[in-house]
A and B are shown apart, each in its own frame.
Chain A
Amino acid sequence: MAQYKLVKFTLNGKKVEQMVDVRASLTDMLRNDYRMTSVKKGCEVGECGACNVLINGECFNSCIYLAVWADGKEVRTLEGLLGENGELSDIQQAFIDEAAVQCGFCTPGVIMSAVEILESGRDYTDDELRKLLSGHLCRCTGYENILRAVRKTLDKRLGK
């Protein structure tokens, strides 16, 4: 017997509510009910970071997070970074400029980790950045360009 529950939460700044199957992961709900297709299904066991989103300002792999747990929370996905007319944010542009995107499958997840880093408002060493980005697997770029894109955006935001 299917079991449903009403979930009320904030998605990219907008209040939303949804009847959701209690067996759904947050990835399932974001992709199927809200068409947030930046949230990727990679490993679905918490290892690759392709499904990473921000919940109340912290990064979570949405594949191992129940949709019903989103109740009352603030969820942000890559779609929420775009400007009113679809303009890219600074961190997205930096990924393009630094060739930190190849196939792009890991990119939305990595960028959401970068957003948590950037919004903390403090500086980090490269080693600290590596550790903060270590929850993502990228099979294309070799990580160096990703690190550079985050570094440059961080430096810019800190006025360095």
Chain B
Amino acid sequence: MYDIKALYEAHSVDEAIKLRLEHPDAQILAGGSDVLVQIREGKRAGKELISIYMIDDMRGVTLCDNGDIRIGSLTSFSHITKNEIIQKYINVLGEAVDMVGSPQIRNIGTIGGNTCNGVTSADSASTLFALDALVELTGENGKRVVPIADFYIKAGVVDIKPDEIQTAIIIPKEKYTDYYGHYIKYAMRNALDITTTGCSVNVKLSEDKKTFLDVRIAYGVAGPVPMRAKSAETYIKGKSVSEENIKEFSNAVLEDVNPRDSWRASKALRQHLCVELAYRAIKECVSLAGGEL
């Protein structure tokens, strides 16, 4: 039995917003793989919950008329990985969320929960940063959309107003077209382990595959929230595809990242990982894009 004070169930987004306004102290429950575990641990015990898990309209991936990809916030990790639109246009996201926990966790865990928890190690987050994803929130007065980088306020805190829930993640067409992405999760075990440091890179090469037109690189666990390494991005833009340039690019990330010591890993190991993962990830992207090093 869970220590829950009261459970309110929403079956539509409108119902969820109404419940949010009626019960300002209640917490949102999606798949519950963070929330229910924290209730067991006592951290969130005795609270009121608004369950949104039964809102089926919030599940699924769609290719919009304008070419943007819209992922409903309740879409599970396994359904993202298996989805044909994801596989065709942003396979890197499907691969990244296929590294979460275990098969059972990937069936219950949602992309909404993975971003709303505000956690730096969340396996979808760095890839969403590297894709310049947008977050759609729905409240009393309709929808608003914020860039994912602005959605994160600080560790564990995201920009959700008291009447809102997150309803979708959107990947704009111009952010994925002609980009090739790769995510590396570094952890101590292959399954059921939290990321020590994760790195996601997106690369767009020139038509002759010799120049970096654009590169976006983002990290999990290189700071209190997921982050981009902008200095490294600026360095590599317009440069030629060469071993020397990607080495410089990888070293440049140290100007941006700010990992800390924790019981999982030291700051020094994480800095080393930031450089090494950047190098390996961009190399893989170049190869996916048809370039040569």
Q: A residues near B, CB below 8 A?
A: 3, 21-25, 28, 44-47, 49, 52, 58-61, 64-66, 68-69, 71, 113, 131-132, 134-136
Contacts and interface: CB of A to CB of B under 8 A. Distances in A.
A25 B191 contact: no
B126 interface: no
Nearest to B41: A45
A113 to B, nearest CB: 7
B6 A134 contact: no
B102 A135 contact: yes
B7 A22 contact: yes
B4 A23 contact: yes
Q: Which 8 A-B pairs have the closest CB atoms?
A: A135-B102, A134-B191, A22-B7, A135-B104, A61-B104, A64-B36, A23-B2, A58-B107
B37 A135 contact: no
Contact of B6 (A3, A58, A131): A3
A21 B51 CA distance: 15
B54 interface: yes
A66 B51 contact: yes
Contacts of B107: 58-60
Contacts of A132: 103
A59 B103 contact: yes
17 contacts: A3-B7, A21-B1, A23-B4, A24-B1, A25-B1, A28-B1, A46-B36, A46-B104, A46-B105, A59-B103, A64-B32, A64-B36, A66-B32, A68-B9, A69-B51, A131-B103, A135-B105
Contacts of A71: 54
Contact of B192 (A24, A28, A65, A135): A135
Contacts of A44: 40
A136 B103 CA distance: 9
Nearest to A62: B104
Nearest to A45: B37
A3 to B, nearest CB: 6
A46 B37 contact: yes
B33 interface: yes
Contacts of B101: 46, 135
Contacts of B53: 66, 69
Contacts of A22: 4, 7
Nearest to B9: A68
Nearest to B1: A23
A46 B41 CA distance: 12
Contacts of B6: 3
B190 interface: yes
Given A47-B192, A64-B32, A131-B190, 12 more contacts: A23-B3, A45-B41, A46-B33, A46-B105, A59-B103, A61-B108, A66-B2, A66-B36, A69-B51, A113-B104, A132-B103, A134-B102
B154 to A, nearest CB: 26
Interface string B118-131: 00000000000000
B4 A52 contact: no
Contacts of B1: 21, 23-25, 28
A3 B48 CA distance: 12
A22 B1 CA distance: 9
A81 to B, nearest CB: 18
A131 to B, nearest CB: 7
